[in-house]
Structure 1
Amino acid sequence: MPPTPDPVEDDLDTLPPPPPVFHAEQALLGALLLEPHRGAQIKGITAGAFSTAAHAALFAAIRSLPAPDPAQHSRNTAWLNQVLAAAGEQTRGLTTAYLHHLIQCCPQPRHAPAYARIIEEEHSRRLLRGAAHRLIQTTLDTSLPHRVATTLAEAGALTTVVDDIATRFPTRSGSLPRALATTPVTTRDEEAGEEEQLLLATATARPGSVERMRWLVPGDFTHPLHAGLWQCLTTLSRRGTPIDPVTVLWEAQCHDIAGTAEPRELLGLLSDPDGCDPDYWGEQILQRSLLTTAHHTGRRIEMLTDDPATTTYQLVVGARRALADLSAVRVRWHHATTPPQANAPAHNRISAPPRAGPPPTTAPPAVRIPR
């Protein structure tokens, strides 16, 4: 029989200890409560940067009240009472004893800017983690009517967060982020495999579409065999070699792409097109690749933020590297879904004036004026 928990036993010891930034928040608030004039040294931090509602309310109250005269503040607690009253309007549970506790938690009030910097760094980490998590959730939400557009919008918001962090924390020399063991999220399901087979068959039947679909690369495929066969198709197209199931099969054999697949099986795969345009199946494959890359990008950034040893500089570098992979797929998606006229470079349509020619060698004919 399992032991019955004692209701009298205090379970506070089971709670995880507060993170280091919590102590930095206490130290900063204690410095501002003890020496309010230190608030003029604190720049670029708001109440939203604090990890608890109580700390955020206290910081907002301190910011909203004018700093008292240092001499008077050392003799009475009138200003502290005003801070407590203003903070109490935003959250409950604050007491005078906690304000005195915060003052005792501050080792050196003159280090207030350093405490604020710590809080700002951790807040940036939380913002980056939240943006990455929203990107991940968007890639998984199949109920969205415009899933790709919404995913790219979240990726843009994530990029804005990274750029903002880089602005507030300028690049400096330092070690690069550690390589994290991440596993790319693939959607190697039956539907994806069928779409890839239909693309290969229709592209083999309509070779002219292969050269047009340069925006699709083997890495977009979920099955290695299908990726290899697409590589064969693009190679044959660029060489100008005739394309049909037999030539693709021979190219696959020359590059040892077929693997364990039987020749008859590959011929059947490449000889069963449907009535759809190959571009349609290519866009379906590229869309799946974009969503997969976006999901993997969000996971990489989220894992970086979960590692407490990753500095703010390393977060920016690692996040930008992850976003660069997604940006490359985004560019190819733009080329795939934009009409050719929009992708073509804009030319100046204003006709140039005619160039001056050599002077005439004969006199112009006389013009008769009717009488």
Structure 2
Amino acid sequence: MPHAPEPDEDDLDAIAPPQPVFHVEQALLGALLLDPHRLDDVSGIAADSFSTAAHAALYAAITTLPRPDPAEHAKNTKWLDHVLTTARGQTRGLTASYLHTLIQVCPWPSHAPAYARMVEAEHARRRLQTAAEHLIHTAHDVSLPHSVQTVLAEADALAAVVDDIAARFPPRAGVLPRTTAPSPPTAPDPAEAAEEEQILLATATAYPCDINSVPWLLPDDLTLPLHAGLWQCLTALARRNEPIDPITVLWEAQQRGLLDDGSEPGEVLRMLAEPAGSVEHWGERALQRSLLAIAEHTGRRIEAYADDPANTPFQLVVGARRALADIAAVRTRWQHATGTAPPQRRRPAPTTRAGPPTTTAANAARSTRATR
């Protein structure tokens, strides 16, 4: 009769092996269980720094219970029993045999500070992962009433995590993540984005005097290469004070090679012939879409860095800060577009070095010396 597998037997092979940090946490807990006084050498971590609930509960018990007398601790397991009882209050499944396993797998209890630093580094990576995931989710949430403000708040929260990690692991110059950054995302609704961008281009062509009112809008804010190129044509013509209408824009597009991709001149002319609304309105819509896309891409870049265990905290800080710089740049343009830019702080007047005296007495003294 063929063997009938138990209900969960087939799932055992699917369980991923423990990550290196699991063994690091075991070594650290084993060192502290064997020599509780080594807790004085451990810093930078808390219970939530551990990757499993069992390890977190054990560390919380070790750090909250009074430490045993070293001589008594060497003779009996009373303190270990207290640790086990306290930890079981937070998580089930812990056994006395597991505590003894932790002690046995610890190579060198004196290396507890090094183990703690490794746990701290892995916790920093998980924190960065979580903050990046929150930013990505927020950038995708179309139900938010104030999407830009919420996304920027999440970006600030992510930046705060990066700053905290940098304070714990000061970045080293030139150490960049080796992880390949993901490709920029496409617009959530490409058809809507393309339609609004066409209206923007047509409205700017019909009302060229309004082009200079949106200096914060860049070609890269538009989702299609042809639209980005046509916006460059419009801004170039406006900068040169040349006539702007569908024909002059089409000619500028030809000079810039925008029609080399197969775009038909008639389609471009039809696109530029249907204005509606105002340049400022459609420009702000395009900038908002660009800001959300940049926020999502930033989150995915940082998430990719944090998902790679080969990246050190130093590399994560450098890579995350470079990615966050993109949000800072588009945030500044958004503030100018919406009139929400913070007021400029007046710099104090520079301190000047003391010059020669200009009093009448001083002038007279100089004249007297000159005649001698």
TM-score (norm 1): 0.88
- 2:250 corresponds to 1:249: yes
Q: Distance in 2 between matches of 1:256 and 1:273?
A: 24
Displacement of 1:346 in angstroms is: 7.9
C-alpha contact 1:301 1:319 (8 A) present in aligned 2: yes
Q: Distance in 1 between matches of 2:73 and 2:306?
A: 41
Aligned partner of 1:263 in structure 2 is 265
Q: Distance in 1 between matches of 2:174 and 2:54?
A: 35
Which residue type is aligned with residue 113 of structure 1?
P
- 2:322 corresponds to 1:321: yes
Written as runs of structure 1 = structure 2, the 5 A alignment for 1:270-285 is 270-274=272-276, 276-285=277-286
Which residue type is aligned with residue 96 of structure 1?
A
Which residue type is aligned with residue 329 of structure 2?
A
Q: Distance in 1 between matches of 2:302 and 2:169?
A: 18
C-alpha contact 1:134 1:154 (8 A) present in aligned 2: yes
Structure 1 unaligned segments of length 5 or more: list them.
349-371
C-alpha contact 2:175 2:318 (8 A) present in aligned 1: no
Which residue type is aligned with residue 216 of structure 1?
L
Displacement of 1:250 in angstroms is: 1.4
TM-score (norm 2): 0.88
Aligned partner of 2:232 in structure 1 is 231
Q: Distance in 2 between matches of 1:294 and 1:282?
A: 18
Q: Distance in 1 between matches of 2:197 and 2:10?
A: 60
- 2:94 corresponds to 1:89: no
Flag the structure with higher helix content: 2
C-alpha contact 1:61 1:87 (8 A) present in aligned 2: yes
Written as runs of structure 1 = structure 2, the 5 A alignment for 1:287-306 is 287-306=288-307
Cα distance per residue 1:323-345 (max 9 Å; x no partner): 11121111111111117xx6786
Q: Secondary structure at the match of 1:91?
A: coil
Aligned partner of 2:19 in structure 1 is 19
Which residue type is aligned with residue 6 of structure 2?
P
Q: Distance in 1 between matches of 2:3 and 2:241?
A: 79
Q: Distance in 1 between matches of 2:206 and 2:315?
A: 49
Cα distance per residue 1:124-174 (max 9 Å; x no partner): 000000111111111111111111111111111111111110010012356
Aligned partner of 1:358 in structure 2 is none
Query: CA, structure 1 residues 75+134, in 2 after alignment: closer, same or farther (shift >3 Å)?
Result: same
Written as runs of structure 1 = structure 2, the 5 A alignment for 1:44-123 is 44-123=44-123
Q: Aligned residues, how many?
A: 343
- Supply the RMSD in Å over aligned alpha carbons: 2.0
Query: CA, structure 1 residues 179+37, in 2 after alignment: closer, same or farther (shift >3 Å)?
Result: closer
C-alpha contact 1:335 1:343 (8 A) present in aligned 2: no
Displacement of 1:10 in angstroms is: 7.2
Query: CA, structure 1 residues 78+179, in 2 after alignment: closer, same or farther (shift >3 Å)?
Result: closer
Cα distance per residue 1:78-101 (max 9 Å; x no partner): 111111111111111111111111
Q: Secondary structure at the match of 1:40?
A: helix
Q: Distance in 1 between matches of 2:240 and 2:275?
A: 23
C-alpha contact 1:204 1:243 (8 A) present in aligned 2: yes
- 2:170 corresponds to 1:164: no
Which residue type is aligned with residue 267 of structure 2?
E
Q: Distance in 1 between matches of 2:93 and 2:342?
A: 61
Which residue type is aligned with residue 333 of structure 2?
R
Q: Distance in 2 between matches of 1:230 and 1:222?
A: 12
Cα distance per residue 1:226-282 (max 9 Å; x no partner): 1000001111111122222222111111111133222232222112111x1110000
Which residue type is aligned with residue 224 of structure 2?
H
Which residue type is aligned with residue 247 of structure 2?
V
User: Identity rate of aligned residues, in percent?
Assistant: 61
Displacement of 1:307 in angstroms is: 1.3
Displacement of 1:214 in angstroms is: 1.1
